[in-house]
Chain A
Amino acid sequence: MSDLIKNIVRFILFIFFQVFILNEVPPLHQFIVPYIYFLFILWLPFNINRFFLLIIAFAFGTTLDYFTGIGGLHAAPCVLIAYLRPFLLNLLIPQDTTENSYIEPSIKSMGWAPYSLYIAILTFMHHFLLVLIEWLQFGNFVYFIGKVAGTTAVSLLLIFITEMLFFRKAKFRTNAA
């Protein structure tokens, strides 16, 4: 399967999974909201053009907004993590080896520690901006701190489970591709 088709399928699956399964989960607590859709942006290939990365993230976030009802609420954090992603990847991986030989970020292509750090930082940034936007509209400071901590923890758990369930074979890039 080509990378393009694979990512289009992922786009659709992540949106539907978020809207029709995670958003329907009965709420445990105000602070605990399961989010996993932004993993789509974290899984995009290494060598994608930075401008296209931003456009894709904006389109992805806006699509989710169409389903949930408030414009820009999810698009803004998506664009933020898409912007920060290349900087973080440059810091975390050895430039010559990984980026040239693997297609996309995964445990195998980056190693346990750098990959977890990459996921954790971007998840935190995403929720920080998302809850900040909500907090500016309503809520108090305890709500802000609690919800950032709660949602980040739940998201990291979900991402961990996803990585265990869907083991992505880290493909080497061949000369032909």
Chain B
Amino acid sequence: MKNIFLFIQRNFTFLSFLLLEIACIVLLSNSSKTHQVFFSAASNEITGKFDKQYNNWRYYFSLKETNAQLVAENARLRNLLPSNFQAFDNSKKTMIDSTVRDSLGKIRKYTLFPAKVIGNTVTLQTNYLTLERGSLQGVKKGMAVIGSDGIVGVVVLVSDNNARVMSLLHRNSRVSAMLKKDNIAGSIEWDGTDPNFLLLKNIPKSAKVAKGDSVLTSTYSANFPSHLLVGTINSVVADATSNFYTLKVKTATNFFSIQYVYLVENLRYAEQTAIESTPEKN
């Protein structure tokens, strides 16, 4: 017993070094295994405050670009207004019904609400965004995040007033996507090289792909609505040893200047993920 104490006393620094390194590795394995951010909601609030202060200054420099993006989006949406369309000369007036349950028996599946981006990185291998909207304002884990031009990421951590989003520019990010032309689905990943480009994998070589084709979110995703723009194909890497293409996709979203995003809530998210994760019983 005495010898053990002597040993600990003599190697105290080395043992504390080992202990701290082990603590680091445990933290690391936890955070990368579950694809989650490791910290508690409380520390998220604190770093969120600093991020917000910083964004107050930084936001000023991208006002012009943000304005242009919002105006472009407004113009696109205004073009969809019913008042732009003139009915043929029948005397009835068309009414657009905006209630949750409309007369044709359709029900609402997705609701969108806006959020301000207060923290964002693109330079690391694991990039996250911080949003100024949290559980008190209705954000839930697993909600999809889209920008005005294309999709952005998925919510991974929520605190009272802030939320952390795993950006598409994260080495563990996987989003189901498809080609607009023939609806063949693959998966969108990031290889960490260039924040302007994503990779679309698992597209069979029977698909006809060309440079400039649009890539949309697929119909299989639980959090993303289908047919949202992900990006356009920039180049096709044909691997002779495989039956699948690897496509380099230019992101539709400009991750460098993103200031506002929309959170998408799938009202049937819980139901869909529950049935997908239920083991089959025979």
Contacts and interface: CB of A to CB of B under 8 A. Distances in A.
Contacts of A73: 28
Interface stretch (A63-71, A88-96, A164-172): A63-71
Given A23-B121, A54-B16, A58-B20, A72 B28 contact: yes
A79 B27 contact: no
B28 A138 contact: no
A132 B125 CA distance: 13
Interface residues of A, number: 36
Contacts of A141: none
A112 interface: no
Contact of B12 (A30, A51, A58): A51
Given A33-B123, A73-B28, A138-B125, A66 B13 contact: no
Interface string A12-30: 0000100110011111001
A111 interface: no
B238 interface: no
A107 interface: no
A137 interface: yes
Nearest to B29: A72
A68 B121 contact: yes
Interface string A130-142: 0001100111000
B113 interface: no
Contact of B23 (A72, A137, A143): A72
B237 interface: no
The 7 closest A-B pairs by CB, nearest first: A71-B38, A71-B27, A72-B27, A72-B24, A76-B24, A72-B28, A83-B17
Nearest to B57: A20
B124 A68 contact: yes
Question: Among B123, B126, B256, which residue has the most Cβ atoms of chain A within 10 A?
Answer: B123
Given A24-B123, A51-B12, A69-B37, A79 B28 contact: no
Contacts of A68: 121, 124, 126, 128
Given A75-B24, A134-B125, A66 B47 contact: yes
Nearest to B193: A30
Interface in B191-214: 192-195
Contacts of B32: 70, 137
Interface of B: 12-14, 16-17, 20-21, 23-28, 30-32, 37-39, 43, 46-47, 50, 54, 58, 121-126, 128, 164, 171, 192-195, 256
Q: Is the interface of B mostly helix, strand, loop or mixed?
A: helix
A16 B12 CA distance: 33
Nearest to A69: B128
B194 to A, nearest CB: 7
B125 to A, nearest CB: 6
A80 interface: yes
Nearest to B54: A20
Contact of A66 (B20, B23, B39, B171): B39
Interface of A: 16, 19-20, 23-27, 30, 33, 50-51, 54-55, 58, 61, 65-73, 75-76, 79-80, 83, 133-134, 137-139, 143
Contacts of A139: 125, 192
B105 to A, nearest CB: 44
B27 A75 contact: yes
Given A75-B20, A75-B27, A79-B24, 18 more contacts: A16-B50, A27-B122, A30-B194, A54-B13, A54-B17, A54-B20, A66-B47, A68-B124, A69-B128, A71-B31, A72-B23, A72-B31, A75-B24, A76-B21, A76-B24, A76-B28, A134-B125, A138-B125
A108 B178 CA distance: 62
Contacts of B122: 26-27
Contact of B123 (A25, A50, A75): A25
Contacts of B24: 58, 61, 71-72, 75-76, 79
A26 B255 CA distance: 11
